Chain A
């Protein structure tokens, strides 16, 4: 069965600091990988996704993620965070079939100090 691990439960950074949120998954076959963001009081929004091709994926708002197959990882990065990045971030995985369900990680709460 698929599973997703996000090791950081809560991350606190100052503005302009660099960000890296860890995500590891367990599944032996082809996977689709996602990062979603949930701003306070808002619904889930897709930040970026990886299906195939270039393992370095660029998303919205300056976020990027790198798929490292050998490490079963899909870490999210941003070189310089802003106060408005304060949110909950969820990594998610789906087996490589569009008919499959998406499984979410436990989430990482990001707090940015102004």
Chain B
């Protein structure tokens, strides 16, 4: 089956720094990628949807200037958490879908801890 990877798997950073998380589709071309965040014991909340070559569409309440998403190629999307604060600590999960296909494949997630 299709594989989606994320890097890094976990990251600890100081408050005020920026953190970049990569999401890659390893064996298919992901025309659409989704970014979710999951707080402990809670569900996945969709943050934004990105189509290759286009600007991301952010969900209501998600600050686009704080969570920068770039989907520059068909196999890579990045999420940059700018000026991270402790309340940004969460589990960030990406998923990817191939053009014309129904199924979304999920990455293993990146755990972010902001001190």
Interface contact A106-B106, CB-CB below 8 Å: no
Nearest chain B residue, comparing its CB with the CB of A106 = B43
- CB-CB contacts below 8 Å: A37-60 with B: 42-46, 49, 51
Partner of A43, one of B46, B103, B109: B109
- CB-CB contacts below 8 Å: B11-26 with A: none
A33 to B25, CA, bound (A): 23
Nearest chain B residue, comparing its CB with the CB of A43 = B108
Interface contact B46-A102, CB-CB below 8 Å: yes
Supposing A32-B102, A46-B103 touch, asked if A104 and B108 sit within 8 A by C-beta, the answer is no
Minimum Cβ distance to chain A for residue B45 (Å): 8
Nearest chain A residue, comparing its CB with the CB of B51 = A99
A107 to B95, CA, bound (A): 18
Interface contact A104-B93, CB-CB below 8 Å: no
Minimum Cβ distance to chain A for residue B8 (Å): 15
- Which of B41, B42, B100 has the most chain A CB atoms closer than 10 A to its own CB? B41
Q: Does B72 contact A (CB under 8 A)?
A: no
Interface contact A106-B46, CB-CB below 8 Å: no
Nearest chain B residue, comparing its CB with the CB of A51 = B102
Q: Across the interface, which residues of A come within 8 angstroms of B95, CB to CB?
A: 44
Interface contact A107-B42, CB-CB below 8 Å: yes
Convert B101-113 into 0s and 1s, putting 1 for each residue whose CB lies closer than 8 angstroms to a CB of A.
1111011110000
Q: Across the interface, which residues of A come within 8 angstroms of B44, CB to CB?
A: 44, 90, 104
A99 to B43, CA, bound (A): 21
Nearest chain B residue, comparing its CB with the CB of A45 = B106
Q: Does B67 contact A (CB under 8 A)?
A: no
Q: Across the interface, which residues of A come within 8 angstroms of B34, CB to CB?
A: 101-102
Q: Does B49 contact A (CB under 8 A)?
A: yes
Q: Across the interface, which residues of A come within 8 angstroms of B32, CB to CB?
A: 99
Partner of B106, one of A32, A44, A109: A44
Q: Does A70 contact B (CB under 8 A)?
A: no
A93 to B40, CA, bound (A): 22
A102 to B102, CA, bound (A): 11
Chain A interface residues toward B at CB < 8 A: 32, 36, 42-46, 49, 51, 90, 98-99, 101-107, 109
